[in-house]
Amino acid sequence: MSTAAKSVKDRTLVLHIGLHNAAASYLQHVLSVRRYDLLREGVLYPMTGAVDRVSFSSPEGAQSGHASLARAGDRRTLVSELLDEIPDTVSTLLVSSEDFTLPKADAGECLRRFSAFGSVQIVLVLRRQDAWIESYYKHVVDQYRTSETRSFDEFLRQMGPKLLDFHTRFSPWRDLVGPESFHVLSYDDLESAAAVCRRVLEIAGVRGPILDDPESIPAPRSETARAIDTLGMRILNAYRLEDRDERATMARAIYAAAPEGDFELMTPEMRDGIQARCAPINERIEAEWFGEPVPGFRFGAPLDGSAESLPSGLEVVDYVDRVISLCEGARKATGQIGSAE
C-alpha cells in the first residue's frame, strides 16, 4: 500500500460525487465505453471499485459508478487495488459515484481514502431542488431499500429539511479541498447530459476528440420511474424480499404491470414550499460557488406542466391487486416466512 501510494503523490484525482439524477448514469456509461480513449489522454477511469448495478436495477441503464469506493468501512484493500491499477502513463484518475453524496456519506472519511494523491478535484452537479427531490424519491423507492415504504409527502416532510439545503450538505467537501478544487455544475443551466459530461472531462484535463461530439457516444438512457411505479415499488418493499435477484425480477414485473397514464407526486403547494425554502440557499450558492449566473438552478424557468392522463380508479385497484399477487407468489416461492408490512 505504501509503495503504491508513493507512486501517485504527483497524480491528480478527479472525484465526481453526484448528485443522483443529474446525468450521473449517462456520464458513467460514457466513461466506461471510452475507457481506452481516455487512457490515450492520460486519464484512467478505473475498473476497481466499479459496481454494475444494472442487474439489480428496475429501470434499464441505471448504474452507480464506483459505488464500492463510496461505501463506509475499511476500504484499504480496495484503495490499494485502485492504486495498483494506475499505469505509469496516467496523470489523472477519474472516479465517479453519486453514492458519495448519500445523506450518510462523510466527506472527511471519503477523502481520507484518497489521501495518497497529490491533488484532489471535486466535481458536484447540482439540480434545482423541486425537480431533484421528486426524482431522488423515485430512486430511493426503486433501489434495494426494503424499508422505504413512505409516501412522497411523508418522505418530503421527514427528509426534506436535511436533503434540500445543498449549501450545508456540500460545504464540507469545499472546505476540505479548497474553493479552487471544488467545481460545481448546474444541471438546469447546461443544455444536455452530454454537456455535463463534456465539462467533467474538461476538468479532468481531456482535450482530445472525445469532447468533439459527446452526443454521438453510445450510452443508453436510464429509464425514469413514474409516480405510479413508486406505488407498486412501495408495496414490493413492504414484503421485504430477502433475495436481491428475486427482488429485482419482481420489480421489473411490477413496472410492466403498471397501467397507462400517471398521477402527480408533488402538489403545487409542496413545490411552492420547496422554492420558498431553497431560494435564498440557491442565491448564496450561486454567489459563492459559481463563476457565472445560473438562473435555471434558481428556479428561473417553469417546469414542464404537462401531465399524462390519469389512470382510472379501477385500473389502479387492478394494478394494486396484481402487485400484491406477484409479491405473495414470490414470498411463497422463496420460502420466506412472516407477514408483509
Count other Cβ atoms within 10 Å, centred on residue 69: 24
What is the number of structural domains in the chain?
A: 1
Q: Over the stretch 65-95, which tens digit does the pLDDT of each residue have? A: 898 898 866 567 888 899 999 999 999 999 9
31 domain-assigned: yes
Domain limits for position 109: 2-127+165-216
116 domain-assigned: yes
User: Higher confidence at residue 217 or residue 46?
Assistant: 46
Q: Which of 163, 45, 52 is nearest to 93 (CA)?
A: 45
Residue 81, strand partner residues: none
150 domain-assigned: no
Among 54-63, 211-220, 276-285, 307-316, the range with the most confident prediction by mean pLDDT is 276-285
Give yes or no for residue 319 having a pLDDT over 50: yes
Q: Are strands 119-126 and 182-186 parallel, antiparallel or unpaired?
A: parallel
The pLDDT value recorded for residue 118 is 94
The pLDDT value recorded for residue 55 is 47
DSSP codes, 47-92? STT---GGGG-SSTT---SSHHHHSSS--HHHHHHHHHH--TT--E
The pLDDT value recorded for residue 47 is 94
266 domain-assigned: no
User: Higher confidence at residue 51 or residue 297?
Assistant: 297
The pLDDT value recorded for residue 243 is 84
247 domain-assigned: no
107 domain-assigned: yes
**Helix or strand (DSSP H, E) at 176:** helix 166-177
Q: Over the stretch 148-158, which tens digit does the pLDDT of each residue have? A: 999 999 999 99
**At 248, is the pLDDT very low, low, confident or very high (cuts 50, 70, 90)?**
confident
Phi, psi at 186, each rounded to 5°: -105, 110
26 domain-assigned: yes
Helices 313-333 and 244-257 pack at an angle, to 10 degrees, of 160
Residue range 149-176: average pLDDT? 97
Quick one: CA dihedral 19, 25, 90, 206, positive or negative? negative
Reduced to 3 states, what is the DSSP secondary structure of residue 299?
A: coil
263 domain-assigned: no
Q: Which of 331, 335, 136, 140 is nearest to 240 (CA)?
A: 331
- The Cα–Cα gap between 81 and 75 comes to 10
User: Could you tell me the CATH number of the domain that includes residue 96?
Assistant: 3.40.50
Quick one: CA dihedral 321, 324, 329, 332, positive or negative? negative
Residue range 24-35: average pLDDT? 90
